[in-house]
Amino acid sequence: MLTNTRTSYGLAARAFHWLSAIAVVAAIAFIELKGFFPKGTPLRDAMKLAHFQAGLIVLLLVLPRLMWRFTQRVPDIAPKPDRRVEWLSHLAHWALYALMIALPVLGIVALQNFGREIHFLGFTLPTFITVSEDTAGEMMELHELLGNVILWLSVLHAAAAVWHHRFVKDDTLTRMIGKMS
Ligand code: HEM
Ligand code: HEM
């Protein structure tokens, strides 16, 4: 079923989740791989371009995803987790959503204000905001810091899902990957 039910995520929420997860992981992987290629080589530039494409896909997905999210109920977890665990997981999810918006926006604004054109799937992005080069430099630093935050938060998030499945033995993970009801 496309929509969420009382007990499991629907097809749309799952598609949004896994496509975004792949794009976030790809954005991080490409920018880390870039470091293996010497400056000025075509492969290094290709890694950067791939980082931008993956990052822009994250931004493209997150807005319809959030709109969809607000129209859907979150499936219950059985057995019901402790209130504090539930609160922590909500905090992590909203932090991930915020990072999926903030990271691409910071990347775009910083790059454009350094005078670089950004191409996405063959189109050139229009310039939305103008800031000074100093501010752009600070935005880039924040982008790199938040890039590391999303990396570690995603690792924790995935580990928590496996922990629920393996040790708590509840249906947190199967609601997202198992049979749809
Ligand atoms: C969810 C999406 C994104 C994530 C998770 C992400 C993450 C990262 C990370 C981890 C780094 C490297 C930080 C370091 O070296 O420690 C980085 C660098 C960078 N990112 Fe992103 N980023 C995203 C989207 C974007 C977008 C959309 C753009 C621009 C269109 C962009 C532009 C850049 C630039 C210019 C750098 C510096 C590259 C260099 O070192 O030459 N990023 N990003
Ligand atoms: C192998 C990696 C991953 C696994 C196993 C996984 C698993 C899950 C599971 C089981 C849920 C449902 C949790 C619940 O409802 O309490 C969930 C939700 C979520 N995941 Fe992941 N995830 C992974 C990667 C990622 C990545 C890379 C991101 C983004 C950076 C992400 C963002 C989210 C968000 C925002 C939600 C909340 C969905 C909602 O609003 O209901 N996940 N994930």
Instruction: Sketch the domain layout of the chain as residue ranges.
Output: 11-177
Using one digit for the tens of pLDDT, what is the confidence trace for 54-72? 999 999 999 999 999 999 9
- What number is the average pLDDT over the span 40-65? 97
Nearest ligand for residue 140 CA: 1
pLDDT band at 180 (very low <50, low <70, confident <90, very high): confident
Q: By percentage, how much of the chain surpasses pLDDT 90?
A: 95
Residue 167 pLDDT > 90:
yes
Beta strand ranges found along the chain (DSSP E): 119-120, 123-124
Cβ atoms < 10 Å from Cβ of 63:
11
Q: Is residue 107 in contact with ligand 1, taking CB distance under 6 Å? A: yes
Nearest ligand for residue 50 CA: 1
pLDDT band at 165 (very low <50, low <70, confident <90, very high): very high
Amino acid type, 108: I
What pLDDT score was predicted for residue 7? 95
CATH class, domain 11-177, is mainly alpha
- What number is the average pLDDT over the span 104-132? 94
Mutate to test the pocket of ligand 2, among 5, 17, 169 (most ligand atoms within 8 A of CB): 17
Q: Tell me if residue 123 falls in helix, strand or coil.
A: strand
